[in-house]
Amino acid sequence: MELLGLSVALLALFVAFGFMVGVFFGFFGMGGSFLVTPALLILGYPAPVAIGSSMAFVFGTAVIATMKHHDVGQVDYKLGALMFVGIALGIEAGKMLVYGLEAIGRAELVVGIAYVLLLAAIGAIFVRNAVRQEADDQDADVEEDIPEIARKIKSYDVPPMVTLTDGSKASMWTISGVGGGVGVVSGFLGVGGGFIRMPAIYYLIGIPLAAAVGTSLFGALMSGAVGAFTYGLDGVVDLGIVTALLAGSALGARIGSAATAYIDESDVTIYFGIMLLLASAAVALGELATWLALPILDAASFVLLVGSSAFVTAVIFYYGAQAVRTSDRQPAVSARGDD
Amino acid sequence: MIEVVALPQTVQAALLVVVVLLEAIVFYVGYGAVERIAAPSVIGTIENA
C-alpha cells in the first residue's frame, strides 16, 4: 500500500523525522534543513532529488516560520528584495554545480563530504558555545547595534549605493554578494542557509541583529521558493517526501517553540551540538558504506542520524516536562496559538 | 487527481511551489487549532503526572 507515492513505513518515517526536525527548528530556530538532505542521501536518493526536495521543505518551513513571526519580527523587506537577484543566481549556480558533479558521478560524494564538514563545524560551534556558557554564565555579552566590521564595510562608497529601511546606506555589490554567496550554498546543499545568511546580513551589510534575524527568515523563504522552482523545473522534487516532512515539522515546530517558554536553551544546547557531530559522523559512515560497498554501514549511518535526533528530541521533552511540573509559568506562547 | 504531466515544466514547477505554500498554510492553521484545543489539557496532564 502506498500513500503520497511512499510506502506506509517510509511515510511514517518521514513524518516522524520531520517532527524531530520541526522541534529543533521551533526550539533552536535552526537545525531543520541541514538534516534533511543528509537523511535523504543516506536513504539512497540521488543528490538532485535530495537537494530539490529539501529546498521545497525549506520553503514550507520558512512560510510557517514567517507566519509565526509576522507580528513580532523586524524584517527589512527592501533589503530582502534587493538580495533576490543574487539569491536566484546563486541557487542556479549551486544547482549547476550539483548537476555538473552528477554528470561525472560524483554529486553524492562531494555533497556528502560538504555535509560532513558543515555539520561538524556547526556542531563544534554549538558544543564550544555550550561549554563556554557554562564556564562564564554571568559574563553576558552585550551585542552591539551594528558591529565594527559592518561599519567599516559600510564606510566604503562603492556605487551603486542603496538606502536601506533604517536609513543607512549599503553598496549593491555587498548585498548581491551576500545574496549570491548564500544562494550558492543553498542551491548546492539544499539548505535555507540561515546559519550563514543571518551572520552575513549582520556582519557584512550591517543590519541590527533583531532585524537581521527577520530579514534572514524572509531570505530563507525566497531561497526555498526559488530553489523549489528551479529544481522543480527538472522534475526532481518528490512532493510526497516534502508533504510528509512538513506534516511532521509543522507540529514539531509548535511544540519546540512552546518549549522555549519553559526550558533554558543553554541546558540542551550541548546535546544539539553533539547531535550535529554525530550527524556528521553518520554522513561520513554513509559515504564509507558506498565506497566500501558495505550496506551494514549504511544502516548504521541511518540509525546514528535518526537515533541522535530522537535522543535530543527526547531530551527537550524531558526538560520541558520537568520544567512544567516545577514551574508556575503559563504557556503564554502556545496558548495563543500564534507562536 | 489533477493531471499535471502534460503541462509545461515551468507551470509544473510553479504549481509545486503553490502546493507547498498551501500545504504549509493548512498545516499551520490546522495544528494551531489543535494546539488551542489540546494544549491546556496536555499541560495539565504533565503538571499532575
Contact at CB, A251 and B31, closer than 8 angstroms = yes
Domain-located, residue A139: no
Average pLDDT over residues B28-38: 90
Q: Considering only CB atoms, which chain A residues are within 8 Å of B9?
A: 232-235
- CA-nearest of A303, A308, A302, A304 to A272 is A308
| Residue pair A19/A245 in contact by the 8 Å Cβ criterion | no
Domain-located, residue A210: yes
Task: Tell me, rounded to whole angstroms, the distance of Cα A334 from its chain centroid.
Answer: 22
Coil, strand or helix at A41: helix
Cα separation, A261 vs A26, in Å, equals 11
Cα separation, A122 vs A33, in Å, equals 13
Contact at CB, B17 and A235, closer than 8 angstroms = no
CB pairs under 8 A between A and B: 91
Contact at CB, B35 and A254, closer than 8 angstroms = yes
Contact at CB, A235 and B19, closer than 8 angstroms = no
Domain-located, residue A73: yes
pLDDT for A3: 77
Cα separation, A316 vs A112, in Å, equals 28
Q: How many domains would you assign to chain B?
A: 1
Q: Please name the member of A60, A67, A321 whose beta carbon is closest to the beta carbon of B20.
A: A60
Coil, strand or helix at A162: strand
Domain-located, residue A177: yes
Q: Amino acid identity of A237?
A: V
Contact at CB, A324 and B36, closer than 8 angstroms = no
Cα separation, A5 vs A78, in Å, equals 40
- Give residue B31's domain range: 6-49
Burial of A191 by CB count in 10 Å (0-12 exposed, 13-18 middle, 19+ buried)?
A: buried
Domain-located, residue A86: yes
pLDDT for A38: 85
**What does the pLDDT profile of chain A (339 residues) look like in tens digits?**
777 788 889 999 999 999 999 888 888 776 667 788 888 988 889 989 998 999 899 899 888 877 776 655 567 777 888 888 888 899 889 989 988 998 998 888 898 898 889 889 888 888 888 888 766 655 544 455 666 777 777 667 777 787 777 777 778 888 888 888 888 988 888 777 777 777 777 777 877 766 777 777 778 888 889 889 999 999 999 999 999 999 999 999 888 888 887 887 777 888 888 988 998 998 898 888 888 888 888 888 889 989 999 999 999 999 888 888 887 555 544 433 333
Domain-located, residue B26: yes
pLDDT for A32: 67
Contact at CB, B46 and A325, closer than 8 angstroms = yes
Q: How many domains would you assign to chain A?
A: 1
Residues 6+ apart with CB under 8 A from A192: A32, A33, A58, A61, A62, A186, A220, A223, A224
Q: Supply the DSSP symbol for A2.
A: E
Coil, strand or helix at A123: helix
Q: Supply the DSSP symbol for B49.
A: -
Q: Please name the member of B9, B12, B23 whose beta carbon is closest to the beta carbon of A60.
A: B23
Half-sphere exposure of A241 (CA within 13 A, CB side): 20
Among B7, B35, B43, pick the best mutation site for testing chain A contact (most A Cβ within 10 A).
B35
Task: Tell me, rounded to whole angstroms, the distance of Cα A43 from its chain centroid.
Answer: 20
Q: Which three cell numbers stand for residue B15?
A: 504549481
ipTM: 0.88
In terms of residues, how long is chain B? 49
Domain-located, residue B1: no
Contact at CB, A228 and B9, closer than 8 angstroms = no
Cα separation, A45 vs A53, in Å, equals 10
Domain-located, residue A300: yes
- Give residue A294's domain range: 2-134+144-336
Cα separation, A77 vs A211, in Å, equals 10
Among A69, A95, A254, pick the best mutation site for testing chain B contact (most B Cβ within 10 A).
A254
Cα separation, B25 vs B3, in Å, equals 23
Q: Which three cell numbers stand for residue A246?
A: 512538513
B positions 9-48 inside 8 Å of A (CB): 9-10, 12-14, 16-17, 19-21, 23-25, 27-28, 31-33, 35-36, 39-40, 43, 46-47
Task: Compute the nearest-CA separation of A261 from chain B (Å).
Answer: 12
The reply to whether the predicted model has a pTM over 0.90 is no
